[in-house]
Amino acid sequence: MSAAFEVSARIAADSVLVAEWPLCQVRLMDDCRYPWLLLLPRKPGLEEWTELADEDLAVLAVEIKRASIALGAVAKFDKLNVGALGNIVRQMHVHIVGRSVGDAAWPGPVWGQGTREPYAAETRDALVERLRALPSDAD
């Protein structure tokens, strides 16, 4: 029996579920300092993007684009950052972060800058609903 996909405890604690796409679980990072989505390919034990099959890599690229467009539809920012680090959380995940000149970490990276500031529950839930309501031609 193969292992089931599970979200790491750290990611689960710091984010909320937005959607399940063909390859990835989409999560909103619960940090109101930045518009920030996470994509987690639903593959048990996955740590590196190089472990994905070529077909899954193609889907991941499309889902990164889709998430980037979705983030831009619900938030204003000057620059879009996309990255997969995995130095703290080894589970394969892709960060999609909207950055604005003068934000809390500008112009440096968001990682390790200050303390996460969770959204007010009402604001967070409204943002998740706005993301879920966006039209999709990928479903």
Give tens-digit pLDDT for 54-108: 999 999 999 999 999 999 999 999 999 999 998 889 999 999 999 999 999 999 9
- pLDDT band for position 3 (50/70/90)? confident
Instruction: Spell out the domains of the chain, with CATH numbers in brackets.
Output: 9-133 (3.30.428.10)
pTM equals: 0.93
Cα within 13 Å of Cα(85), Cβ side: 12
Confidence at residue 139, expressed as pLDDT on a 0 to 100 scale: 43
CA distance 59 to 68: 14
Identity at 17, one-letter amino acid code = L
Helix, strand, coil share of the chain (percent; to 5): 30, 20, 50
